[in-house]
Structure 1
Amino acid sequence: MAPPVFDGENYQAWAVKMAAYMEGCDLWEAKENDYEVAPLPENPTMNQIKYHKERTTGKAKSKYEGHEKVRGMEVLNFLREFERQQMDETKTIKEYADRLIDIVNKTRALGTDLKGERIMQKISISLPEKFEATIASL
Structure 2
Amino acid sequence: MPIFDGENYEYWSLQMKTLFISQDLWDLVEDGYEELEKTSTGKATPESQQTLKENKKRDAKALFLIQQGISKNLFPRLLSATTSKNAWEILKIEFQGSQKVISIKLQSLWREFDNLLMKENESIQVFFTKVSGIVNQIRSYGDTILDKKIVEKTLRSLPPKFDHVVAAIEESKDLAAFSLHELIGSLEAHEKRINRSTDHSLEQAFQSKLDSKEKEDKQKGESQKSPKQKK
After TM superposition, what 4+ stretches of structure 1 lie above 6 angstroms from structure 2? none
Residue 53 of structure 1, aligned match among 76, 95, 101:
76
Q: Distance in 1 between matches of 2:145 and 2:7?
A: 21
- Conserved 8 A contact 1:104-1:113: no
Task: Give the aligned partner of residue 17 of structure 1.
Answer: 15
- Conserved 8 A contact 2:110-2:138: yes
| Post-superposition offset of 1:32 | 6.0
Q: 5 Å matches for 1:1-138?
A: 3-11=1-9, 13-21=11-19, 24=23, 28-30=58-60, 48=72, 50-58=73-81, 59-138=90-169
SS at match of 1:8: coil
Identity among equivalent pairs (%): 28
More helix by share: 2
Q: Distance in 2 between matches of 1:33 and 1:104?
A: 28
- Conserved 8 A contact 2:6-2:74: no
Gaps (5+ residues) in structure 1?
38-46
Give the letter for the 2:154 counterpart: I
Gaps (5+ residues) in structure 2?
26-56, 82-89, 170-231
- Conserved 8 A contact 1:104-1:114: yes
SS at match of 2:79: helix
User: Quick one: structure 1 residues 129 and 112, their matched pair in 2 at CA, closer, same or farther if it must change by over 3 Å?
Assistant: same
User: Quick one: structure 1 residues 92 and 72, their matched pair in 2 at CA, closer, same or farther if it must change by over 3 Å?
Assistant: same
- Conserved 8 A contact 1:10-1:106: no
User: Quick one: structure 1 residues 82 and 132, their matched pair in 2 at CA, closer, same or farther if it must change by over 3 Å?
Assistant: same
User: Quick one: structure 1 residues 123 and 19, their matched pair in 2 at CA, closer, same or farther if it must change by over 3 Å?
Assistant: closer
Give the letter for the 2:157 counterpart: S
Cα RMSD of the aligned pairs, angstroms, is 3.0
Number of aligned positions between the proteins:
124
Give the letter for the 1:128 counterpart: P
| Post-superposition offset of 1:92 | 1.1
User: Quick one: structure 1 residues 137 and 19, their matched pair in 2 at CA, closer, same or farther if it must change by over 3 Å?
Assistant: closer
| Post-superposition offset of 1:17 | 2.8
| Post-superposition offset of 1:33 | 7.7
